[in-house]
Amino acid sequence: MSAASSILLSNGTVLLHDEEDHVTPVRADILIIGNKIAEIAPSISPPSPSPDAVDIDCTGKIISPGFVDTHHHLWQTQLKGRHADDLLLDYMYKGNIVFSLFKPEDVFWGQLGGCMEAIDGGTTMVVDHAHINHSADHSESALSATVASGIRSYFCYCPVPQTRAASWAPFKFETSSSSVPDWAATQLADLAAKQPFGNGRVRLGVGFDAYYLPQDVVISIFQNARSAGVKLFTSHYVRNALMGQHSLVNLLDSYGLLKDDILLSHANQALPEDAIQLIAEHAHVSSTPDTELQMAHGAPVCFRPDLHKIASLGVDCHSNNSGDMLTQMRLALQSARGTRNQQFVARGKQPRTVHPTAEQAFNLGTIMGARAVGMGAEIGSLRVGKLADLVIFDGESPGMVCAAAHDPVAAIVLHASVRDIETVIVDGRIRKFGGKLCAVEVENATEVGWPEVAAKLLHSRRRLQEMIETADMDGAREGIIKLFHIDPNNIVEHVA
């Protein structure tokens, strides 16, 4: 949909955060001018007539802040559906390393599909750990798809590319990169100088997992990027038998790199001293309940008392699970409740109260996500002067009716599905309307709608699948075990 000079949302139930993050539903109008929320009031008169002003009747609708997804690999769309019964090791050799087979064109459609699925589900801001950095062209394709989609994003460029397959049958990895390749250093510096992209929507971050490199190399990568203006650094951190028991927080601290621009995805089994250090430096974590619960990362930490304050939520792999934040809020909430309740049940007792609350889950998906990316003053709640990132739910759908009238936050966290999301506005632009994704503008100002994107994705998937079927996947599994120094004795069928 083309840009409107103003958008008036009339008579909706607006979810407003107060200073303590308590959410109150208020019957109100919202006026959007340009890319900002200009006014929230009981009754707003339409601004002076303009042919491109939009007025949306929101009677019976809930208007929520857009969701903030703080950990996602947006390129993986063609790999959807292949990890239903997989663990982390299986995901790495069956899915993630297939990135070596992606051409820049596959990346473009995969990334666009990932962004559009996110928007469809009400995500307006996403931290993309963009580890599809096979070549400069691959990252260029990924970034241009993000810009085209209309989503707001931190595009976290990976200056040390993942190790690629050199041959698939027999399977062999290339030698791991011992530093930042020249082309990646040049591209990172170039993107840092040119950012932001897409009228300010897309900022450059850094995705970094190459902590095996010498200390001075790691430090210089962070220092160079910080001096070039990069404001967000994201790394995977999982402490378990597969990924190792070391403390990444301690390493970052000992290198002098732990600051408020650090966002660690997962942090399962983070040490108590990790939590103390992360909170002291105002760093943040992103829990991704779907992948963490399935793939044996460990329990999600987003409601852990020592980490909750700096937590947020992410989708991680839409190749493995749905790309919407409704699912992540609900899974995080109910798994935390289940774990707590079981402690009472196992002792022959019943809890007096349920904990955590639906509102806490909602906040993890909105305002706390915004703070995790250093944008708490700009997005994550509905307030005059903030950027216009909003989601409009149909409060009278079969799923939400009555729940929305009684408790709109509960309706979103426990009753809503992507189907109930009628309209999504990012940066003052309508990207989903009437329950359907709007067309996006790709190269040469060509507009493509979702059916065309789906056709491109299916074509690309077929090509990739034909190559995957001839690959030596047992060899790939062994290759991953060696590359990550995994002790096979720790992978067992039963525990006593």
**Cβ of residue 295: shortest distance to Zn ion, in angstroms?**
10
The Cα angle at residue 200 between residues 198 and 202, in degrees rounded to 5: 65
Q: Which is nearer to Zn ion, 275 or 295 (CB)?
A: 295
Bridge partners (DSSP) of residue 33 are: 6, 36
Measured CA to CA, the distance from residue 237 to residue 263 in angstroms comes to 10
**Cβ of residue 129: shortest distance to Zn ion, in angstroms?**
5
Q: Which is nearer to Zn ion, 124 or 288 (CB)?
A: 288
- First-to-last alpha carbon distance for the chain, in angstroms, is 58
* Mode of pairing for the β-strands spanning 123-130 and 152-157: parallel
- Runs of H (alpha helix) within 234-354: 248-254, 272-280, 289-294, 325-346
The count of chain residues that interact with Zn ion, using the rule CB under 5 A, is 1
Q: Which is nearer to Zn ion, 316 or 422 (CB)?
A: 316
Beta carbons of 325 and 126 less than 8 angstroms apart: no
Q: Which is nearer to Zn ion, 69 or 427 (CB)?
A: 69
Q: Spell out the residues 6+ positions from residue 238 whose beta carbon is closer than 8 angstroms to its own.
A: 88, 266, 267, 268, 269, 297, 298
**Cβ of residue 274: shortest distance to Zn ion, in angstroms?**
18
Return the H-helix or E-strand segment holding 315. none
For Zn ion, which stretch binds (CB under 5 A), given 102-110, 156-164, 308-316, 425-433?
308-316
Measured CA to CA, the distance from residue 158 to residue 211 in angstroms comes to 13
Q: Which is nearer to Zn ion, 320 or 460 (CB)?
A: 320
For Zn ion, which stretch binds (CB under 5 A), given 7-15, 91-99, 309-317, 359-367?
309-317
| Residue-wise DSSP of 177-236 | PSS--HHHHHHHHHHHHH--BTTTTEEEEEE---TTS-HHHHHHHHHHHHHTT---EEEE
**Cβ of residue 495: shortest distance to Zn ion, in angstroms?**
26
**Cβ of residue 297: shortest distance to Zn ion, in angstroms?**
10
Beta carbons of 10 and 29 less than 8 angstroms apart: yes
User: Which residue minimizes CB distance to Zn ion?
Assistant: 316
Site string for Zn ion, 310-349 (x = CB under 5 A): ------x---------------------------------
**Cβ of residue 71: shortest distance to Zn ion, in angstroms?**
6
**Cβ of residue 29: shortest distance to Zn ion, in angstroms?**
40
Q: Which is nearer to Zn ion, 316 or 389 (CB)?
A: 316
Q: Which is nearer to Zn ion, 270 or 425 (CB)?
A: 270
Instruction: Identify the residue whose tokens are 């708490």.
Output: 376
**Cβ of residue 411: shortest distance to Zn ion, in angstroms?**
30
Torsion angles phi and psi, residue 201, rounded to 5 = -70, -35
**Cβ of residue 209: shortest distance to Zn ion, in angstroms?**
9
Question: Scanning residues 260 to 299, which ones bind Zn ion (CB under 5 A)?
Answer: none
Residue 415's Cα: distance from chain center in Å? 22
- C-alpha torsion angle, residues 187, 236, 176, 462 (rounded to 10): -80
**Cβ of residue 236: shortest distance to Zn ion, in angstroms?**
6
Question: Scanning residues 138 to 177, which ones bind Zn ion (CB under 5 A)?
Answer: none
Q: Which is nearer to Zn ion, 117 or 394 (CB)?
A: 117
* Mode of pairing for the β-strands spanning 36-41 and 23-33: antiparallel
Q: Which is nearer to Zn ion, 8 or 315 (CB)?
A: 315
Q: Which is nearer to Zn ion, 323 or 475 (CB)?
A: 323
Interface residues with Zn ion (CB under 5 A)?
316
